[in-house]
């Protein structure tokens, strides 16, 4: 990739981990039943849930550049952070194992209760342990108050042991991780071209903003007319506009690019967060069941299910009129379905 593309930047080193390109597929039944009757677009799905099996999801694209950077800096350890069911931490744990690096995960419990050794790990957390990652679980409050100190503490711990750690921010989202979705944008536009169209809209879930930042930067550099919209799953629109702009700025500074993003090109919808991060509602569970039943696609209750639900609502409200082809980026998250198994009980017969 890169060659023959319109993006005229020199990509940094990349460690191949993901199976690329991921497929681009039309969602025919959902388009017919839930978009066309409202004057909405043909919906396509970019299957970044298929970047790998256990390591699957959007974080793997960022990790390709992050792990190459860790090697370049002579690091043998990756320290990163996230929620107890973080997909990013799970992908990091497995990618580190494959690359022969240690992983240390600073994880946030969803409550202020101290970690309980009798709790059986589930979903992503179970995989973290299987991958041999060091896991430090913190009560919610302590994590929120002390995250920078926790990174400092563990980086110091490894330094004292004679190791060298690379600290990766939440979601791998910064000026380094953004390369993953810059490359992905080129891939996506190429896919669309092969399928005979240019996308009018590209939609993703936004959690730490890096995926949206890469896509937004990517379409700008490729001079594509596609409008990138992030559906927020935690913080509000203002937060994400600033975060996306900050990631792009960090990228420009680190890599000597004179690019400055226009904030009016950063589109965030924060109407579908619901009760909070990681908390889904009955409609979200039903949309997940619907996508599984109509298209054989598994969305997750934390990110993609929320974003896709929001997208269908907005299509029905007419917000995507005039848009012919829309690409929804399926960013992964399958392991997050299982810890929320009780939420799906009423959803079997949806659709």
CA distance 279 to 274: 7
Give 117's contacts (C-beta < 8 A, 6+ positions apart): none
Minimum gap (Å) between residue 282 Cβ and ligand PLP: 20
List the interface residues with ligand PLP, window 302-321 (CB under 6 A): 303-304
**Where does the chain have alpha helices with state H?**
28-30, 59-72, 87-99, 123-130, 140-160, 178-194, 210-221, 237-254, 282-295, 304-316
Is residue 264 annotated as part of the catalytic site, yes or no? no
Which residue of 300, 308, 315, 328 would you call a contact of ligand PLP, by CB under 6 A? 300
Kindly write out the interface string for residues 197-226 of this chain, putting x where it contacts ligand PLP by CB under 6 A and - elsewhere. Answer: --------xxxxxxxx--------------
Secondary structure tally for the chain: helices H, strands E: 10, 10
For ligand PLP, which is the closer residue by CB, 199 or 230?
A: 230
Q: Give yes or no for a cis peptide into 162 (omega within 30° of 0).
A: no
Q: Whose structure tokens read 């939440």?
A: 170
Nearer to ligand PLP, 60 or 289 (CB): 60
CB of 71 to ligand PLP, least distance (A): 22
Residue with Cβ nearer ligand PLP (32 or 236): 236
Tell me how many residues contact ligand PLP (CB under 6 A).
Answer: 21
Footprint on residues 78-107 left by ligand PLP (CB under 6 A)? 87-88
- Phi, psi angle pair for 147, to nearest 5°: -55, -50
When the beta carbons of 123 and 333 are compared against ligand PLP, the nearer one is: 333
Taking contact as CB under 6 A, which single stretch among the options 144-152, 185-193, 247-255, 325-333 is the one that binds ligand PLP? Answer: 325-333
| Shortest Å distance, C-beta 65 to ligand PLP | 13
**Is 229 strand, coil or helix?**
strand
Q: Is the peptide bond before 248 cis (omega within 30 degrees of 0)?
A: no
The yes or no reply on residue 287 touching ligand PLP (CB under 6 A) is: no
Task: Give the footprint of ligand PLP on residues 10-69 (CB under 6 A).
Answer: 57-59
| Region near ligand PLP per CB under 6 A, out of 26-34, 39-47, 258-266, 330-338 | 330-338
* β-strand pairing of 325-330 with 267-269: unpaired
Q: Which of 171, 175, 218, 278 binds ligand PLP (CB under 6 A)?
A: 171
Q: What is the dihedral of CA 52, 53, 54, 60, to 10 degrees?
A: 20
* Residues numbered 173-192 forming contacts with ligand PLP, rule: CB under 6 A: 173
End-to-end CA distance of the chain: 39
Structure tokens at 118: 């009798």
Beta carbon of residue 181, minimum distance to ligand PLP (angstroms, whole number): 7
Query: What residues from 135 to 164 belong to the interface with ligand PLP (CB under 6 A)?
Result: none
Q: Which is nearer to ligand PLP, 158 or 336 (CB)?
A: 336
Q: How far is the CB of 164 from ligand PLP (least distance, A)?
A: 26
Q: How far is the CB of 306 from ligand PLP (least distance, A)?
A: 9
239 is written with which tokens? 């937060």
Is 346 buried (19+), middle (13-18) or exposed (0-12) by CB count in 10 A?
A: exposed
**Counting contacts by CB under 6 A, is residue 331 touching ligand PLP?**
yes
C-beta of 165 vs 204, nearer to ligand PLP: 204
Q: CB of 308 within 8 A of CB of 266?
A: no
The CA distance from 314 to 306, in Å, is 12
As annotated, the active-site residues are 86
> Which chain residues interact with ligand PLP by CB under 6 A?
57-59, 87-88, 171, 173, 205-212, 300, 303-304, 331-333
């Amino acid at each position: 990739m890169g060659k023959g593309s319109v993006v005229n930047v020199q990509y940094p080193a990349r460690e191949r981990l993901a199976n690329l390109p991921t497929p681009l597929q039309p969602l025919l039944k959902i388009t017919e039943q839930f978009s066309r009757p409202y004057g909405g677009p043909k919906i396509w799905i970019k299957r970044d849930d298929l970047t790998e099996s256990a390591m699957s999801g959007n974080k793997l694209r960022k990790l390709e550049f992050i792990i190459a950077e860790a090697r370049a800096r002579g690091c043998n350890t990756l320290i990163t952070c996230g929620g107890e069911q973080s997909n990013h931490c799970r992908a990091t744990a497995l990618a580190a194992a494959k690359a022969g690096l240690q992983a240390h995960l600073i994880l946030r419990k969803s409550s202020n209760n101290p970690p309980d050794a009798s709790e059986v790990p589930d979903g992503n957390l179970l995989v973290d342990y299987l991958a041999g990652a060091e896991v430090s679980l913190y009560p919610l409050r302590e994590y929120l108050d002390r995250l920078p100190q926790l990174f400092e503490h563990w980086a110091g711990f490894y330094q004292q042991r004679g190791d060298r750690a690379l600290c990766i921010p939440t979601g791998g989202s910064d000026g380094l991780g953004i390369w993953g979705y810059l490359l992905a944008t080129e891939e996506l536009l190429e896919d669309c071209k092969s399928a005979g169209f240019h996308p009018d809209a590209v939609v993703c879930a936004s959690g730490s903003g890096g995926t949206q930042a890469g896509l937004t930067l990517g379409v700008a550099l490729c001079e594509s007319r596609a409008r990138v919209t992030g559906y927020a799953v935690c913080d509000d629109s203002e937060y994400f506009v600033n975060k996306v702009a900050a990631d792009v700025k960090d990228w420009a500074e680190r890599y000597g690019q004179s690019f400055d993003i226009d904030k009016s090109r950063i589109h965030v919808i924060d109407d579908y967060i619901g009760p909070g991060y990681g908390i889904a509602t009955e409609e979200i569970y039903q949309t997940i069941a619907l996508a599984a039943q109509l298209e054989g696609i598994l969305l997750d209750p934390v990110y993609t299910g929320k974003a896709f639900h929001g997208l269908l609502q907005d299509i029905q409200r007419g917000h995507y009129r005039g848009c012919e082809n829309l690409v929804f980026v399926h960013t992964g998250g399958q392991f997050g379905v299982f810890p929320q198994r009780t939420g799906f009980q009423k959803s079997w017969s949806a659709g």
